[in-house]
Amino acid sequence: MPKIMQILSMYHPTAEEWLNEHARVIRVDNHQEEAIIAGLREHPDIEGMILRAPARITRAIIDAAPLVKVVSGAGVGIDNIDVAYATEKGIAVLHAPKVNAESTAEHAVALMFALSKQLILFDHEMRKMNFQVRSHVFAHELRGKVLGLVGWGEIARHVAKVCSLGLGMKVVSYVRTYSEEKEKAATEIGVSLTADLSELFRNSDVISVHIPLTESTRGLINKQLLGQMKPEAYFINTARGAVVNEADLYQILKERRIAGAGLDVFSNEPPSPDIPFHVLENVVLTPHVGGITEEASKVSAGLVARNVLDFLEGKTPKYLVNPQVLSSSFLGRSPYQE
């Protein structure tokens, strides 16, 4: 059986059980680079690696893994894997996109409701037996409001369906480039597309972020954009924390220049106390759980486990990030060389 290094737990125990039945699994629960490298040195015959955030696959880890042919994240994200260097070394990078799209979309909408309906405040006051809070604190309806989506991928489209067709919101989505496919998908559910990010932030009652973390999106949402939001608007992020300048967002929220924010993701996870969102009353915080419902986790983790073993058995896996490593003309190390 192939030998796999599993860094931290997978998203569902049934996938771990299946993986242990079909591979020799070396489990590493310390996600620091030094600990991972030490594990690779102790087990130099590792052929594949599976990890979940906050673990990272760095250049140093790749250099310490001479026989590794495939690396897979435990979910959709690959920003914690040095894909370029893995590709240079002929290592396949896998992930599991789309399977948690509905789950994450539901979480984004839940955060919208939590903020607009003042659910956290009302819950706290009721626990203090303050029923009269209903007389001077008012919730808001989402119907008729403008939802600005930053991105138009699978998750954003699920959010748009719920909010446009289900809640009667006007939905506008930011795209960097237009295409016939994007326009068609937007038209089908009554969504408008725009390439003007500033306009989106100025005109929206709710901003919801759904873009991947890349070098071009890191820190994209900053004080210039956040400062253009309406004072009664809400900001939602279920994508990646680092696409937002968190210091800028914290200051905007602290000064109550927007009504509130719902945050499921952070630049550092666990989040750093240096930017203390947790002390603000106008923020709803969750620990990066948007995409890990029972249903999505079971499917996602199972797909990851099977993908890695499929690759090691010479099959073409689903959701290969760098398919060029399979090319016979690729100049890096072929994953089938050994």
CA 312 to chain centre: 27
Position 57, amino acid? I
Q: Distance (Å, rounded) from C-alpha 321 to C-alpha 236? A: 27
253: Cα within 13 Å, side-chain hemisphere: 24
First to last CA, the chain: 15
Catalytic residue among 95, 107, 210, 288: 288
| Cα separation values, 332 from 14, 48, 50, 86, 136, Å | 35, 17, 21, 9, 66
Strand order in the sheet with 283-285: 191-194, 170-174, 146-150, 206-209, 234-237, 260-263, 283-285
3-state secondary structure of 55: coil
Query: Other CB atoms closer than 10 Å to residue 195's CB: what's the count?
Result: 11
Catalytic residue among 141, 232, 269, 295: 269
Query: Other CB atoms closer than 10 Å to residue 317's CB: what's the count?
Result: 20
Residues 6+ apart with CB under 8 A from 134: 122
Q: Is position 288 annotated as part of the catalytic site? A: yes
Burial label, 337 (beta-carbon count in 10 A; 0-12, 13-18, 19+): exposed
211: nearest Cα among 261, 151, 256: 151
Q: Is position 269 annotated as part of the catalytic site? A: yes
Q: Is position 134 annotated as part of the catalytic site? A: no
Structure tokens at 281: 């009353």
* Residue in this structure with the two tokens 């309906």, named with its chain if needed: 117
Catalytic residue among 47, 240, 246, 306: 240
Phi/psi-derived region of residue 312, left when phi > 0, alpha when psi is between -120 and 50, beta in every other case: alpha
CA angle 246, 248, 249 (to 5 degrees): 65
Catalytic residues, which ones? 240, 269, 288
